[in-house]
Amino acid sequence: MASIGILTDTTAHFPQPKFSGQDHVALIDFTLVFQGNHLGESRNHKALDLPLSLIGWEAEKAPRLIPPSVEDFYQHYLLLHQRFSGLLVITHSAQLSLTYENALQAAEILHGTSEIAVINAQTISAGLGLLVQATAQHIVRGLSFDQIETIVRRNIPKIYTLICTPGLSYLSHNGLLTHPQAIVGEMLNLLQVFSLEEDHLVPVEKVRNYRHAAEFFIEFLSEFEELSHVALIQTANTPLGETHLLRQFINESFPRTAFTEHKANPPMSALFGPRFVCLVALETLEP
């Protein structure tokens, strides 16, 4: 039976540290640049190393997340094809960085010589991790490459992602928000809630504090009849004191739903600032 591998990026959070098919999964990392210095792989740094705001920072000195290049992906493909005959490349939302585009370009170099499918997950963090975990399980079940790719693409719309952050200057430096919007938002001391909808980062609400953010998350979850998993991601800088309210709501409203909490990883913090909170809600994925 042909062997299938998965390559994903390090924005992913895996709710299960160990999962079926994990040996089929490989990671590709980002490079963190700060104060003009290349600090190497982002996984080697903590969110606490980053400034709370980038207002007033020169672009050359501000922390910046450099996605894996076309050459990085190409070299990973060559290495992984020594182990796997087919490769599913699942990246975070294409709007948030050039990761997906670079993965696609690298795959085109090998077009016709290797079986590679590059998939834009249209989510990030635990949403990406949950999708990868489910994909690995399909590999273990022995499904074909085409079957698995079809299931992955069908499952993407079942993942919902909310991101709340006061660090709008980070979004500005990453080209996701205009500079005037970032300045006004941070001057008003507001937390902006965004939703990843059809691969677009859409502002959906402004809240004054993290308690109001938790209340908005609960309101959002109440729109669902059934969920298979809810994940909360936050940094040490943003302890959501109302986590117990969220947990209690899920236990009462979705007693069969898994709820996991995760510490933010450096790529997420470099994109959204070191005080963001992310909520991922997952409907039942296609078996």
| CATH classification of the domain holding 224 | 3.30.1180.10
Question: Do 124 and 12 share a structural domain?
Answer: yes
Question: Do 228 and 148 share a structural domain?
Answer: no
When pLDDT is cut at 50, 70 and 90, the band that residue 257 belongs to is: very high
Question: What per-residue confidence (pLDDT) applies to 13?
Answer: 96
> Are 24 and 4 in contact, with CB atoms under 8 Å apart?
yes
In 10 A of CB 125, how many CB atoms? 27
Question: Do 228 and 108 share a structural domain?
Answer: no
Is 57 part of any domain?
no
| Tokens 């079940």 -> residue | 141
> Are 246 and 217 in contact, with CB atoms under 8 Å apart?
yes
Helices marked H in 142-242: 145-155, 168-173, 179-187, 210-221
Q: Which residues are within 8 A (CB) of 36 and not within 5 positions of it... i.e. 6 or more apart?
A: 60, 61
> Are 281 and 221 in contact, with CB atoms under 8 Å apart?
yes
Side-chain half-sphere exposure of 112, counting CA atoms within 13 A: 1
Q: Token pair for residue 72?
A: 């990085």
**Domain boundary at 156, 191, 208, which?**
156
Question: Do 211 and 113 share a structural domain?
Answer: no
pLDDT over threshold 60, residue 44: no
Domain that holds residue 204: 158-282
pLDDT over threshold 50, residue 1: no
Q: Token pair for residue 160?
A: 């919902």
Q: Please tell me the total count of domains within the chain.
A: 2
Question: What per-residue confidence (pLDDT) applies to 62?
Answer: 85
Is 58 part of any domain?
no
**Domain boundary at 125, 156, 187, which?**
156
Is 217 part of any domain?
yes
- Looking at per-residue pLDDT, the higher value among 143 and 46 belongs to 143
- Looking at per-residue pLDDT, the higher value among 96 and 36 belongs to 96
Mean pLDDT taken over the chain: 91
pLDDT over threshold 50, residue 240: yes
pTM of the model: 0.93
Q: What is the mean pLDDT of residues 178-186?
A: 90
Per-residue pLDDT of 61-108, as tens digits, reads: 888 889 999 999 999 999 999 999 999 999 999 999 999 999 999 999
Q: Crossing angle for the helix pair 145-155 and 126-141, nearest 10 degrees?
A: 150
Is 214 part of any domain?
yes
Question: Do 178 and 112 share a structural domain?
Answer: no
